[in-house]
Structure 1
Amino acid sequence: MASKFGLAGGIPERRVRPIWDAVDSRQYKSALKLCTALLAKHPTSPYALALKALTLERMGKPDEALSVCLEAKELLYSNNIFHFDDLTLSTLQIVFQRLERLDLATSCYEYACTKYPNNLELMMGLFNCYVREYSYVKQQQTALRMYKTVGEERFLLWAVCSIQLQAYFSSGGEKLLAFAEALLKKHISSHSLHEPEALSLYVSILEQQAKYDAALEVLSGDLGSLMGREEDKLRLQGRLLTQACNYVAASEIYQKVLESCPDDWESFLHYLGCLLERDVKLPKPTTGEHTCSSCSVDSNKTSLSEEVVRPPPEAILFYLVLVTCIRFTEITCL
């Protein structure tokens, strides 16, 4: 919990560490005594008050803990505070969250970010507050602000994920997804992508817009090398081809997956689904005359030789499972 300068919330770490150790070991009475002694030397320290509130909440005194948290919040909002760090806010956030008052934690981070607009740690804390409140628009805005501040790929991905959530839970999804795609394209043109998760997110954005050909083109290009395993890339290609209704190509892709991973049950089911969509024809039964004496047919009914026997779907599926199992057993035994 200490900073790189040996300070924790503006207080020397050697005076703070025993409190955390007491809380972690559930010695709350000892922790409260240490907090009282700390406040005697640092009466205007929001961090010391946050530690006391944390201890009171763990002791089962939520009302007292909330009162102390509000006192620390007022100190943070005053102009007399010269040390304003994420450690104090994160400690308060723990207490506010356990007291089911996330709105108070969010307001503290919002105030801190207005006071220190370029502090990355504070912006990350604010983003986490919005995540806990399911505030997708504010998540997006905060993530984009962090991306513009430091230019790191992860913050752009946070923003794109927030846009995806907006598209899923609100109207106007097409415009939002187009905006997310534009953000990623701009980043790719200047910085490319460096993580497999970034590639998966880009493909999912295209997939949500039914741009399956574009997604397949991305996977077959230079960015496709970000996929760690070739089988993962093939599975993704098979899914995209299936959604594009190209069942012939999809079945060929899944066949490659099964040749290298014969125990991949999910790919096996997808493979069977593609075969069924292709209307695989089963061998038709012979239509020769039935000569078995034990199967006599009434003369008033149509003879078996004139009937068209059509197997039920369950029989077709069972047949495909059986044939495919035999086929891949032969492949793995080679």
Structure 2
Amino acid sequence: MAQKTQQLPTKEATLFRHLLQDYEAKRHKKGLKTADQILRKHPTHGDTQAMKALILNAQGKTDEAFDLCKLALKNAMKSNVCWHVYGLLYKSVKNYEESIKAYRFALKLDPESIQILRDLAQLQAQMRDYQGMVQTRRTLLQGKPQLRLNWTALAVAMHLNGDLEGAEDVLHKFEETLKQSPPKSDIEHSEAILYKNAIIAESGNLDKALEHLNSIERLVLDRTAIMEMRADYLLRLKKREEAEKAYRALLERNPESHAYYQGLEQALELDRSNADDRVKLLEMYRSYAETSERTDASRRIPLDFLEGEAFQQHADKYLRRMLAKGVPSTFANVKQLYEDEAKKQALEKIALQLLSEDSPSSNGAPKEGANGSVDGSHHATKADPANTWQLSVNYFLAQHYDYHRSRDLSKAMQHIDKAISLNPSKTDYTYHMTKARVLKHQGDPAKASTAMNDAREMDLKDRYINTKCAKYQLRNNEHDSAVATMGLFTRKEAVGGPLGDLTDMQCVWFLTEDGEAYQREGKLSLALKRFKTVYDIFETWTDDQFDFHHFSLRKGMVRAYVDMLRWEDRLREHPFFTRAALSAIKIYLMLHDDPKLVQQSQMNGSGDLSSADKKKAAKKARKEAEKAEAEKKAKTAKQAQPKAAADEDGVPKKEDADPDGLELLKTDKPLEEAMKYLTPLLELSPKNIEGQVLGFEVYLRRQKFLPALKCLLAARKLNPQHPKVAEQETRFKAALDKLPEPLPPKVKQVIDASL
């Protein structure tokens, strides 16, 4: 960054170099003194002003930094340093479009600046400007062709821009420049040639990809990736015999991979819907089951395709084996089968039959050891294996009757109580946790929370049950108890206590559950605060990828980097973002329809009070609001003083100016705030019918009739019987009839055609 356009005397030029070093080393106070020392003698030196602005920005004085940088540009309009700093300032406030513009100005003044080109390429990757990224990366390669990173980065840019052939050609040309083959221990080379192979396969030329894969096998360190890619290529090329060998080799490495078994089935051309093929499939899985007593996948998978009597026999054998071993996850392993009504009934019948037996029979059950225990047992006891059998079967049936496809909560409670009475261990919380789940499904969150806390107290060192307990407490609207429970495993010195630590650690499930609990209580400000925090966390995850645009290429982890970019593109289809977004949109719609809810929320949900009590609560709320406003002004005045809270180097400590979300609640434009959540929701989760329903509500209130119609049609396509669809159709037509002015002809034509 140290290109200079305004000449300084020798002494000040030396000070300017020290200024650069101070900034790089984050010695901000010293850097400011150095900058002021230069500016006393040369008050219009733009580069120094720009560097001072950069340091001020690092100290949190963003507005002052921008003002100073604009002054620097006025004094040195042709300084690439000033434009570069201007771009860095915009990048720090996440205004990437303006930052790219500033970098382009800087490049016009210094087209060969490696630092500016590298920063620009990272911004283009962040903004998904792959076409511009190709040009920037090509310039970087021309400047330093000896660096492998520049070749790989150009190939990635071309790949992401859709030019697969060009990306392959760039990687091939770099390989031609190598005078000798890199050693086998070269991870960067190993990843680069695997990446090249993935590009060839993605282009659709599988024959070439397979040939290339065979040629690079000895140079690749990731043996599993080589084997998986070869098996995949052979299968897609319909080379069945070779594909069979490849998948069998993979199963020798990992006999629990369902994907490998599926590949082997396709290689053998066995169809699960064909009765004759099912016999062959069963024999294949039996052969793998016989290779090891410990494997589960080869015993479980046949239940997916077997039917009738064959299914009952295999299910009986499977359940006997698992329940005799006391495997707690037995029900979780088979509940997917409950989508088939016949299989669900068969499993229930088998489980009830097993309950009538005092101990596991020899039919399919594993052999017991000399002490009465079973290999791999989780709950087996040395003294009484029959007790373990009854314990396992009752636990299975409790989960069976608690499951939504076979729900009978009274029976579920009977079986879980029986399991608890048979449980020999007083520290195993598994059964008590299931009892809490049954209570939750019975509609008693208070008892469920108490039962889950009892389970937690059986093992105070277990983080999982601690987390589960906090979740149940939030479902019962016990905010303080949930925070205290989570606080047992958070950092004691964290700013803001356990909740502050959970926020810093981006614990989205807790924040979402906490927000939904506040929403149920009518405390909309705190609910919005939690949902906004979740929104900000997803924004942070989007911004966090910035550092990886250079780091991943420098480390050579190219395949993982491309996967990360594609994952980031669909980040907001995550279920927790969907939940938080839907809840926030509902609140903003309520605020738009009834602005008085702001006051009611501050009264902590006093909707059920009498008229006199409501007046008292409203008066109290006004006083509290006035007090909060006075405190806020005092706090703002205090922060404006020179001795604001900061670390030893002048960087301000982060403080939440709106911990209760009151400012979020007082928004004048609730529908615009709702759009921040709605836009990514509709774009990335278009099959979420609740999102389409709420999208219609937002757009209709904004009188955006075409987007509202789009949401309405999408909801009708997803579920024509949804109760909101018919209602919204009626309201949509009524809204069109009441328009003060007619719609534009083209818009009316589209709407009429759609309806």
Letter in 1 for 2:62: P
Counterpart among 289, 313, 327 of residue 291 in structure 2: 327
- Return the alpha-carbon distance in structure 2 between the equivalents of residues 143 and 218 of structure 1: 26
Query: In structure 2, what is the equivalent of residue 52 of structure 1?
Result: 52
How far the C-alpha of 1:143 sits from its partner, in A, is 1.2
Q: Is the Cα–Cα contact under 8 Å of residues 213 and 226 in structure 2 kept in the other structure?
A: yes
- Structure 2, unaligned runs of 5 or more: 4-10, 183-188, 296-755
Q: Is the Cα–Cα contact under 8 Å of residues 73 and 108 in structure 1 kept in the other structure?
A: no
Letter in 1 for 2:233: L
Tell me if 1:208 matches 2:202. yes
Superimposed CA distance per residue, residues 18-70 of structure 1 (whole angstroms, 9 cap, x where no aligned partner)? 565454xxx7xx87566544533453444433343334435544333222233
Tell me if 1:117 matches 2:111. yes
- Return the alpha-carbon distance in structure 2 between the equivalents of residues 320 and 205 of structure 1: 35
Tell me if 1:256 matches 2:249. yes
- Return the alpha-carbon distance in structure 2 between the equivalents of residues 166 and 61 of structure 1: 38
| Greater CA drift, 14-23 or 58-67 | 14-23
Q: Please list every run of at least 4 consecutive aligned residues from structure 1 whose deviation after the TM superposition is greater than 6 angstroms.
A: 7-10, 315-319
- Return the alpha-carbon distance in structure 1 between the equivalents of residues 13 and 84 of structure 2: 10
CA 1:109–1:18: 2 relative to 1, 3 Å: closer
Tell me if 1:43 matches 2:43. yes
Give runs of aligned pairs for residues 1-334 of structure 1, distance below 5 A: 11-15=15-19, 21-23=26-28, 35-75=35-75, 77-78=77-78, 81=79, 92-151=86-145, 152-167=147-162, 176-191=163-178, 195-221=189-215, 223-259=216-252, 261-262=253-254, 265=256, 268-277=257-266, 278-280=268-270, 310=275, 323-327=287-291
- Return the alpha-carbon distance in structure 2 between the equivalents of residues 162 and 66 of structure 1: 32
Q: Is the Cα–Cα contact under 8 Å of residues 238 and 254 in structure 1 kept in the other structure?
A: yes
How far the C-alpha of 1:92 sits from its partner, in A, is 4.5
Letter in 1 for 2:39: L
Q: Is the Cα–Cα contact under 8 Å of residues 271 and 277 in structure 2 kept in the other structure?
A: no
How far the C-alpha of 1:250 sits from its partner, in A, is 2.7
- Return the alpha-carbon distance in structure 2 between the equivalents of residues 232 and 329 of structure 1: 27
How far the C-alpha of 1:155 sits from its partner, in A, is 1.8
Q: Is the Cα–Cα contact under 8 Å of residues 9 and 47 in structure 1 kept in the other structure?
A: no
CA 1:128–1:42: 2 relative to 1, 3 Å: farther
- Return the alpha-carbon distance in structure 2 between the equivalents of residues 36 and 271 of structure 1: 67
Superimposed CA distance per residue, residues 219-251 of structure 1 (whole angstroms, 9 cap, x where no aligned partner)? 212x33331143332222123223334344233
Q: Is the Cα–Cα contact under 8 Å of residues 84 and 103 in structure 2 kept in the other structure?
A: no
Q: Is the Cα–Cα contact under 8 Å of residues 147 and 153 in structure 1 kept in the other structure?
A: no
Query: In structure 1, what is the equivalent of residue 440 of structure 2?
Result: none
Give aligned-pair identity as a percent. Answer: 18
CA 1:281–1:55: 2 relative to 1, 3 Å: closer
Q: Is the Cα–Cα contact under 8 Å of residues 134 and 158 in structure 2 kept in the other structure?
A: yes
| Greater CA drift, 101-110 or 197-206 | 101-110
Q: Is the Cα–Cα contact under 8 Å of residues 66 and 99 in structure 1 kept in the other structure?
A: no
Superimposed CA distance per residue, residues 197-220 of structure 1 (whole angstroms, 9 cap, x where no aligned partner)? 321221122111211110111121
- Return the alpha-carbon distance in structure 2 between the equivalents of residues 55 and 330 of structure 1: 61
- Return the alpha-carbon distance in structure 2 between the equivalents of residues 147 and 8 of structure 1: 35
- Return the alpha-carbon distance in structure 2 between the equivalents of residues 41 and 317 of structure 1: 86
Q: Is the Cα–Cα contact under 8 Å of residues 46 and 73 in structure 1 kept in the other structure?
A: yes
Letter in 2 for 1:274: G
Query: In structure 2, what is the equivalent of residue 171 of structure 1?
Result: none
CA 1:248–1:17: 2 relative to 1, 3 Å: same
CA 1:58–1:158: 2 relative to 1, 3 Å: closer
- Return the alpha-carbon distance in structure 2 between the equivalents of residues 21 and 141 of structure 1: 32
CA 1:146–1:241: 2 relative to 1, 3 Å: same
Q: Under a length normalisation based on structure 1, what TM-score does the superposition of the two structures give?
A: 0.65
CA 1:113–1:17: 2 relative to 1, 3 Å: closer
- Return the alpha-carbon distance in structure 2 between the equivalents of residues 252 and 8 of structure 1: 72
Q: What count of residue pairs does the alignment treat as equivalent?
A: 277
- Return the alpha-carbon distance in structure 1 between the equivalents of residues 26 and 72 of structure 2: 22
Q: Is the Cα–Cα contact under 8 Å of residues 84 and 106 in structure 2 kept in the other structure?
A: no
Q: Is the Cα–Cα contact under 8 Å of residues 16 and 34 in structure 2 kept in the other structure?
A: no
- Return the alpha-carbon distance in structure 2 between the equivalents of residues 327 and 281 of structure 1: 24
Q: Is the Cα–Cα contact under 8 Å of residues 241 and 250 in structure 1 kept in the other structure?
A: yes
Letter in 1 for 2:258: L
How far the C-alpha of 1:97 sits from its partner, in A, is 1.3
Letter in 1 for 2:254: P
- Return the alpha-carbon distance in structure 2 between the equivalents of residues 214 and 34 of structure 1: 60
Superimposed CA distance per residue, residues 127-156 of structure 1 (whole angstroms, 9 cap, x where no aligned partner)? 223223221011111212222333243222
Q: Under a length normalisation based on structure 2, what TM-score does the superposition of the two structures give?
A: 0.32
CA 1:117–1:97: 2 relative to 1, 3 Å: closer
| Greater CA drift, 206-215 or 93-102 | 93-102
CA-atom RMSD in angstroms: 4.2
- Return the alpha-carbon distance in structure 1 between the equivalents of residues 195 and 122 of structure 2: 20
